[in-house]
Structures are given as structure tokens and as C-alpha cells.
Structure 1
Amino acid sequence: MIEFFTEPWQHVFMQRAFLVVLMSGVVCGVIGSHVALRGMAFIGDAVAHAVFPGIAIAFALQTSLVVGGIVAGLVTALAIAVVSQNRRLKEDTVIGVFFAAAFGLGIVVMSTAPGYGGSLESFLFGSVLGIGSADVITVAIAGAVLLLTTGVLHKEFVTIGLDRETARAVGLPIFWLDMAMYAMVTIAIVISIQAVGNILVLALLITPAACARLLTDRIGRMMLIAPAIGALSGLTGLYLSYAFNLAAGGLIVLTATAVFVACWVFAPRHGLLSHRRKIATAALPARP
């Protein structure tokens, strides 16, 4: 039993994978809490598609994938924010147009690069076992910056998430805070794509936060529970991947989903069983 936990750490590639998954889980858990609080899951999906052309261009030019993805995500986020000012178009409509276009551009660019098929598969589904030392350092630095920025802007983000009109009334710069959140979501997604892939990265951003939302009513606790679930899901998925020789990204997401189902059923105050107990108790006749 002990060998199950210790054996993967004897391989350098697994050590790197564990570190990246751990950091990605923590960062996505924290950022994802704000995303869930503001009902921005669709934004997360859009950004996940938007970073793809930047990564594809960086791959074709043999430059930093992280930088390429961040630049593409920020450009797309800015375009969405600007075009959304037109009141004839709803924000979700603009998002749908831009993320479909961005993903299509990414596929076209990827098709021009050597080794197109295998490279596209690694971007879509993740290649956490092929992460290099430079990638680990990049993820660590970007993750630290994200967590620090989240701490500095926490009150402002929470205020906007709970009541945008109140935030606007007290003079908060809504547009720029939205842009800051888009930028942070972009960076969190880019550093996590190598772990779970472009298609599955939204789950790492949203699912742990959804679990935390079911487990607590306090935002502070949610910010602690979500990254813990994200990190635990990542580590568990990697162990299962190593033990059964299955896709790491898929198992990480399935582990997080299993935790969500458990929370949905067993959460002390907001779970299915708790809700049914409350209904049954309310239906009991009052004692004389």
C-alpha cells in the first residue's frame, strides 16, 4: 500500500506532474471561486477556447506557450468587453462569436505546424507527464502572482460578485475589475491546460468551486475549500493514472466530478439528503 503512494515520486516526470497539478488545482480553486460567485462559467469556457490560437501560434513559432496563450486570451477578453458595450448584443452572444472564432483560428494555425495530429491532441486533452522543468517554474511564478493579486483585490471582486449595482454606486471601476478578472481567468487556464487539456480545463476551474459552494456559506471558507479540493483531485487523478495507465487529464476531472456528486448528495446543509430531511421534518405534525 505504501508503494502505491511512494513509487510515482521516484520518477522525475511524475514529480514535475505532481507539482504542476498541485499548483494548478490551488490556483484554479481560488480563481474559480470568484468565477462561480459571479456566475461566469461561460466566460471561463470562452477564455479556454480563446487561449488556443495563442498557444497554437507559439507552438508554430517555437516560443513560450504560456505567453502565447495569455496574450491571445487577453486580446479576446478585451474584444469581448468592447463589443459587448453595444446594447443590441448580449454579452453571451458576443462571447459565443469570439470563442468559436478563436478556436477555429487555433485549429487552422495548428494544421500548419509539423506533427499536427499529436500536438493538437496534447493541447486538447493535456500532456501533464511531458512537462519540463521550465514549465514548472513558469506555473509556480504565474500561480504566485495570481494568488497575490486575488488577495489584493479580494474585497472588490466579492463586492462585484454579490451586487454589481452597489459596487458601481460606491465608485468601483467595474470595467477594469472585470478586465482584471478576465486576465486572471486567462492565466489560470493557460497554466492548467498542460495538466488537463483545453477541453477539460473548465472543469478544474469550476468543479472545485461548485463543491465548496455546496459545503459552506462563507466566502472565506470557500476560498480555502475549493483549492484544497482542486489540489486533492489533481493528485488523486495522477495516482490513478499512474496505477492504471489511463489518461491523466480525464481522471483528474472525473475525480473532481466524483467529489462534486458526493457534495451534492451529502453536504451538511445544502446536500440532497439534508434537503430531504428538512422536508420530512417540516411534514411531521406539531407536538401538542
Structure 2
Amino acid sequence: MNAVFDFLAEPFRFGFMTNALAATMIASVVCALLSCWLVLIGWSLMGDAVSHAVLPGVVLAYIVGAPFALGAVVFGFLAVALIGAVRDRGRIKEDAAIGVVFTTLFALGLVLISVTPSQTDLNHIIFGNLLGVSTSDLVQIAVLGAVVAAVLILKRRDFTLYAFDPMHAFALGANPRLIGATLLGLLALTAVTALQVVGIVLVVAMLIIPGATAYLLTDRFRRMLVIAPVLAAACGVVGLYVSFYADTSLGGMVVLTQGVLFFLVYLFAPARGVIPAWQRSRRESDERAQEPTPDGPILAK
């Protein structure tokens, strides 16, 4: 019993691991909540675009001493506006427009990082620096996470209606454009929340994998909103322990754990898993083969 307790307690004898766990839990839960709507709407690629496009905004905010969230939101909306302009005023399709805009803005962010004099390593914005989360960083993550979670929970009905049928939402008096803009703003804030955990590169994984996993496990959206954060939080804890004892990248291990869980659910989920579906199909085929033919005899296997 003491061995088990020592195993579980060992990582938290270091203060930075406690901060890392708290930051991971907050970012995982908030990203998982938002991912439910992103998966439902089909905004996976948009999530990738916005999460990368906020990089120059975060760097510029650092340069002028403004909050990271402000720069992220500004460039998040700028990215969406540019994508719409390229798509609507030319022959370029939406997926190509997204690719052009987010890669260009991401490259701009890399250039800004390379020319910005700083006493701190700004590369942690790209790759994350979970073990370097300070108390002030944790407070920022907690505040941003609380804001995003509160808006998602309070406006969940509007967001869900928008996800299923924007025209019906408009007929009921809602403003689909405003709802969509609000979701994009929350997406930018969530990207900043997860910056310290996994960095810009892997943020999109935390924004998509939990919702996609929960979608395979239930047909009810309310249950998705519970399953996704619970699974994401569990993966955060498992990833933290594996990273500590295997001496690997903490942020990368958290995302890898989520990815492994997704593929396990994809293969073995009772209702939508590939293997149970194959077993049902084979069983039905065998049952049809055993049915009597019009002439009377039973078909052999």
C-alpha cells in the first residue's frame, strides 16, 4: 500500500509538477468542452487555422506588454476575416483559403519570435512549457478557462442550436453570425489557455480529440459535454504520470494519451466501434445464411 502511495505522490513532491497538473486539468477540460461543438459543427480545420493564426497576436501582445488573450482574439478574428475574403472574392475554395491564411499567419508569428529580443524563450509558445508554469501563468490560465467554460455553459443551448441548424436558430430569433463569432472568440481564448500546456502546434489536438472520442461513445449531446471533459482530464493525469516516470515531453504525452484513447474507442466502442460493427455484421450474415430457403433446406455455413 505504501508503495502505491509513494508511486502516486512522488511527482508532486516537486512544486512545478503541481502547477503542471493544475494547468493540464484546466486546459484539458476547457478544450474538451469546446471540442464538442467544433466536432458537431465540423470546424476541425477551422480550429486548426485559428489556433495557429493566433501566434503573431500573442507575440505582438508580448512586445507591447498587452495581455496574450487580447492579441490572440484580434488575430483569431483577423484570420477568419481573411479566410472569408479569400474564399468569397476569388476562385479559391474554403479549405485552400484556410490553408493559405493560417500558414501565412503562423509563419509571421515565427518570424516575429525570431526577431523579438526577449529575456525569456518565446519558443514555449510553439511547443509549450508545462513544467515552467508559474503561479501567475496558472492564474491567467484559470481566469481564461473560467471565462470560456462559463460562456459555453451559459449559452450552450444557443451554440447547440447553431451547430445543428443555423437557419432554425435564425427563425427562432437568434443571430447565427453573432453565435458563430462568439464561438470563434472562445476558440481564440481557448488556444491561449492551452498555450502553456502543449503549445500552438498541438493545441488543435486538444480541441478535437476529446469531442471526437465522446461522439463515438454517445448519441446525446448532453452526455458528450460530460464524457469529453472527463476523458480529457483522465488523459491529462495518465499523461503526466507516464511523462514523469518515462522522462518524456509532458505536453506531447498528454496529447498522445488522448490519441491512443481515441483509437481504442474507435476500435472497441460498443455502438460505433469498428470491431463490434464487424462482429454484428458477421453475426447477421450468419443468421441470414441459416434462414430456410424457399425450397425448404437450410443453407450451410
TM-score, normalised via structure 2 length: 0.88
Q: Could you tell me whether the CA contact under 8 Å between 1:49 and 1:102 is conserved in 2?
A: yes
1:54 is aligned to 57
Q: Equivalent of 1:108, from 107, 111, 120?
A: 111
Moved more, 38-47 or 108-117: 108-117
CA distance in 1, matches of 2:174, 2:230: 31
Q: 1:63 to 1:160 in 2, by over 3 A?
A: closer
Alignment of 1:131-210 (within 5 A): 131-210=133-212
Bigger RCO (CA 8 Å, 6+ sep)? 1
Percent identity over paired residues: 32
Moved more, 171-180 or 21-30: 171-180
Q: 1:142 to 1:87 in 2, by over 3 A?
A: same
1:164 is aligned with what amino acid?
A: P
2:18 is aligned to 15
CA distance in 1, matches of 2:222, 2:91: 38
Extract unaligned runs of 5+ from structure 2. 293-301
CA distance in 1, matches of 2:177, 2:46: 15
Deviation at 1:214, TM superposition (A): 0.4
Q: Equivalent of 1:246, from 242, 245, 248?
A: 248
CA distance in 2, matches of 1:165, 1:272: 34
Deviation at 1:9, TM superposition (A): 1.4
Which structure has the bigger radius of gyration? 2
CA distance in 2, matches of 1:287, 1:36: 41
1:228 is aligned with what amino acid?
A: V
1:130 is aligned to 132
Q: 1:241 to 1:61 in 2, by over 3 A?
A: farther
Deviation at 1:64, TM superposition (A): 3.6
Q: C-alpha deviations, 1:130-149, integer Å up to 9, x for none?
A: 01111111111111111111
1:77 is aligned to 80
CA distance in 2, matches of 1:77, 1:131: 30
1:68 is aligned with what amino acid?
A: G
Deviation at 1:115, TM superposition (A): 6.1
2:122 is aligned to 119
Q: Could you tell me whether the CA contact under 8 Å between 1:21 and 1:234 is conserved in 2?
A: yes
Moved more, 232-241 or 255-264: 232-241
CA distance in 1, matches of 2:95, 2:169: 22
Extract unaligned runs of 5+ from structure 1. none
Deviation at 1:5, TM superposition (A): 1.4
Q: Could you tell me whether the CA contact under 8 Å between 1:52 and 1:198 is conserved in 2?
A: yes
1:111 is aligned with what amino acid?
A: S
Q: 1:80 to 1:116 in 2, by over 3 A?
A: farther
CA distance in 2, matches of 1:59, 1:112: 13
2:299 is aligned to none
CA distance in 2, matches of 1:169, 1:147: 27
SS state of the match for residue 200, structure 2? coil
Q: Could you tell me whether the CA contact under 8 Å between 1:23 and 1:143 is conserved in 2?
A: yes
Deviation at 1:116, TM superposition (A): 9.7
Q: C-alpha deviations, 1:87-133, integer Å up to 9, x for none?
A: 8554334322321221121011111123699532x222210010111
Whether 2:200 is the aligned partner of 1:215: answer: no
TM-score, normalised via structure 1 length: 0.92
CA distance in 2, matches of 1:239, 1:14: 10
Q: Equivalent of 1:38, from 37, 41, 44?
A: 41
Q: 1:97 to 1:116 in 2, by over 3 A?
A: farther
Count of aligned pairs between the two proteins: 287
CA distance in 2, matches of 1:126, 1:229: 21
